Amino acid sequence: MKMYLAVLRLRLNMGMQYRAAALAGVATQFFWGFIIIMVFEAFYEHAAQTPPISLKELIQYIWLQQAFLVFVMMWFRDNELFDLITSGNIAYELCRPSGLYGFWYAKLLAQRLSSALLRCFPILIVAYLLPEPYNLEPPPSIWAFLLFLSALLLGLLLLVAISMFLYISVFITLSPMGSLLVFGVLSEFFAGLVIPVPLMPVWLQKIAYVLPFRWTADFPFRVYSGHIPEQDAIIGILVQLSYLTVLVWMGRKALNGVLKKVVVQGG
Amino acid sequence: MKLYFKYLSIHFKSQMQYRTSFWLLSIGQFFIPFSIFVGLYFLFERFGQIKGWQFFEVALCFAVIHMAFSLSECFARGFDMFSSLVVKGEFDRLLVRPRSTFVQVLGSKFEFTRVGRLLQSVIVLVWALSNLPIEWSTIKAITLALMIVSGVFIFTGIYMLAATMCFWTVQGLEVASIFTDGGREMAQYPLNIYQKWVARFFTYVIPFGTVNYLPLQYILGKGDGNELIHMLTPVLGSLFILPCFLVWQFGVRHYRSTGS
């Protein structure tokens, strides 16, 4: 455990080096957030029937989405790991006296965490200071906030567990592009990045609720705005926990499976 | 010009060497805007309209801008990837050749896999057009073609500006993606749904408004006023590339090699 924490800390420090890049990213996400909010504002203006999520809640949703974008995006990836797998340098990794799954998990977790820590605060702070109706509001109660925090953290752990499958699949396909695309498009769509889950048609919502993707991002953001009441949020967190256990267990099994078959050519 | 086509055919042949990879990537490129379009469809299913614009009208807007974007990403990829030329110091090699830097940078890279993205927007375009009650005339057809062409010019202009910045910063700047990716995202809806200042900025500074909103009003028979002016707005928009070209020339003169 101590070793994994050390990997985590090392990677966090490394990620923090790229401050200028993070700032540029913040500017982009701000612009993006504004555009999306304005589009939805225009949609809501003449809505025939009351939409299932209010504009106010939706704005919270979008700002949180922008602030924690790295917690949603599959595209955010570690090319180093892909290179390790395709070039055969994986042999070095296998020599390390530690489980590969835990090692990579800590690495990927730290990358997302450091990037999010750099990006989320400027976005959140400025979003709080924006004029009505664009501003981000504090959550309805301290309980909602605590639930949001735990849901967000569990969501992150869950996302990393999902993304591990991406790396495992590269052992079989040897080219990351294909799986990246499938994972990227599907997960982002079902995590509510293209349109928020509550605005999807009912039949699609049912699919989204079954898949693990919406628990990574959609769920915590709706807990924050109070769109999901506190009792449901507690049940939701239990669902997240069970998904996490199952996915980590499956990921370990799958990784051990492909590692048994791995062939490292010399050179 | 002959040189440009030479570049084009060489790159095409080299990318065709990896045929499976090419097709897979193209299919992938098809699905990225597809998921966005599906999202758009569902939003209209729920809300019905957006500030008086119907689904197929917005779909037309979407198709035009995505087509322009994919074409420019295919043909102006050299400028998009320009920072790698500067970082590696390969731009020096281009400078000693007796040809314009513009053509050479443009020819340094093509992304033919964008054909998937293009196909997706063509399908949307056809679908939207066949569902819209438009009385076609030659002028309207020309306007539509001009919209796409000048959209390509505008995106290329932005790529050039971003590339010029590399002369000073060496590394590519992510900020430019506000205007390329962000511009694409924004211009897929008619501009009048946004706040006034956004609409003004993207009409007069970066003229996305001239390639979708203004001529679209004319094609759909929504606007009033002179036909000719509406037809010519995309042409005005494509003038955007001229200052970009001048800035590029200015940047080339101030180029200092990284020496590597």
Q: How confident is the model at residue B107 (pLDDT cuts 50, 70, 90)?
A: confident
Determine the pLDDT at residue B235.
83
Q: Is residue B61 over pLDDT 80?
A: yes
Alpha helices (runs of H) in chain B, residue ranges in sequence order: 2-16, 19-47, 55-75, 77-80, 82-87, 91-96, 101-106, 115-130, 138-169, 177-187, 196-200, 213-219, 227-238, 241-253
Q: Which of A59-63, A83-87, A138-142, B188-192 has the lowest mean pLDDT?
A: A83-87
Residue at B15 is within a domain: no
Residues, chain B, total? 260
Determine the pLDDT at residue A265.
62
Q: Of the candidates A5, A124, A130, A111, which has an alpha carbon nearest to the alpha carbon of residue A68?
A: A124
Residue at B259 is within a domain: no
Structure tokens at B82: 């320009």
Nearest by CB: A39 against B24, B174, B189? B189
- Condensed to tens digits (0 to 9), the pLDDT of residues A170-225 reads 888 777 777 777 778 888 888 888 888 888 888 888 888 888 888 888 888 888 88
Closest residue in chain B to residue A45, using alpha carbons only = B51
Determine the pLDDT at residue A139.
82
Instruction: Give which of A26, A39, A199 to mutate to test B binding, by max B Cβ within 10 Å.
Output: A39
Q: How confident is the model at residue B4 (pLDDT cuts 50, 70, 90)?
A: confident
d(CA A71, CA A21) in angstroms, rounded, equals 17
Q: Is residue A249 over pLDDT 90?
A: yes
Q: Is residue A96 over pLDDT 80?
A: no
ipTM: 0.81
Q: What's the average model confidence in pLDDT over B236-243?
A: 86
Structure tokens at A102: 């835990």
* Selection from A38-52, B19-33, B51-65 with the highest mean pLDDT: B51-65
Q: Is residue A31 over pLDDT 70?
A: yes
Q: What's the average model confidence in pLDDT over B119-139?
A: 86
Q: Is residue A267 over pLDDT 60?
A: no
Those residues whose C-beta lies under 8 Å from the C-beta of residue A59, and which sit 6 or more positions away, are A37, A40, A133, A134, A135, A136
Residue A188 in contact with partner chain B when CB distance is under 8 A:
yes
Count of C-beta atoms within a 10 Å radius of residue B93: 11
Q: What's the average model confidence in pLDDT over B91-100?
A: 82
Determine the pLDDT at residue B254.
82
Are B38 and A194 in contact by the 8 Å Cβ rule? The answer is: yes
Q: Is pTM beyond 0.90 here?
A: no
Q: Of the candidates B128, B159, B124, B141, which has an alpha carbon nearest to the alpha carbon of residue B234?
A: B141
Q: Of the candidates B245, B41, B84, which has an alpha carbon nearest to the alpha carbon of residue B158?
A: B245
Instruction: Give which of A30, A180, A200 to mutate to test B binding, by max B Cβ within 10 Å.
Output: A200
Q: What's the average model confidence in pLDDT over A38-66?
A: 84
Instruction: Give which of A28, A58, A132 to mutate to test B binding, by max B Cβ within 10 Å.
Output: A28
Q: What's the average model confidence in pLDDT over B112-137?
A: 86
> How near does any CA of chain B get to the CA of A266, in Å?
25
Determine the pLDDT at residue A248.
92
Count of C-beta atoms within a 10 Å radius of residue B85: 21
Domain count, chain B: 1
- Give me the amino acid identity at B250: F
Determine the pLDDT at residue B225.
64
Return the HEC string of B154-221: HHHHHHHHHHHHHHHHCCCCHHHHHHHHHHHHHHCCCHHHCCHHHHHHHHHHCCHHHCCHHHHHHHCC
Structure tokens at B137: 């005339």
Q: What's the average model confidence in pLDDT over B103-115?
A: 82
pLDDT above 70 as % of chain B: 94
Structure tokens at A190: 């079902």
- Condensed to tens digits (0 to 9), the pLDDT of residues B183-236 reads 888 888 888 888 888 888 888 888 888 888 888 888 887 766 666 777 778 888
Determine the pLDDT at residue A242.
92
Determine the pLDDT at residue B258.
66
The answer, yes or no, to whether the previous bond of A133 is cis (omega within 30 of 0) is yes
DSSP conformational letter for B50: B
Are B31 and A187 in contact by the 8 Å Cβ rule? The answer is: no
Q: Of the candidates B97, B250, B242, B77, which has an alpha carbon nearest to the alpha carbon of residue B172?
A: B77
d(CA A196, CA A209) in angstroms, rounded, equals 12
Look-up of token digits 């995106």: B155
Determine the pLDDT at residue B170.
63
Q: Is residue A49 over pLDDT 70?
A: yes
> How near does any CA of chain B get to the CA of A125, in Å?
20
Q: Which of A5-9, A56-60, A147-151, B169-173 has the lowest mean pLDDT?
A: B169-173
Residue at B13 is within a domain: no
Q: Which of A14-18, A97-101, A237-241, B18-22 has the lowest mean pLDDT?
A: A14-18
CA distances from residue A259 to A88, A98, A101, B190 in whole angstroms, order as listed: 12, 14, 11, 52
pLDDT above 90 as % of chain B: 3
d(CA A217, CA A224) in angstroms, rounded, equals 11
| Displacement of CA A235 from its chain's centroid (Å) | 20
* Domain around B41: 2-8+21-253
> How near does any CA of chain B get to the CA of A154, in Å?
27
Q: B84 in helix, strand or coil?
A: helix
Q: Of the candidates A219, A104, A208, A80, which has an alpha carbon nearest to the alpha carbon of residue A163?
A: A104
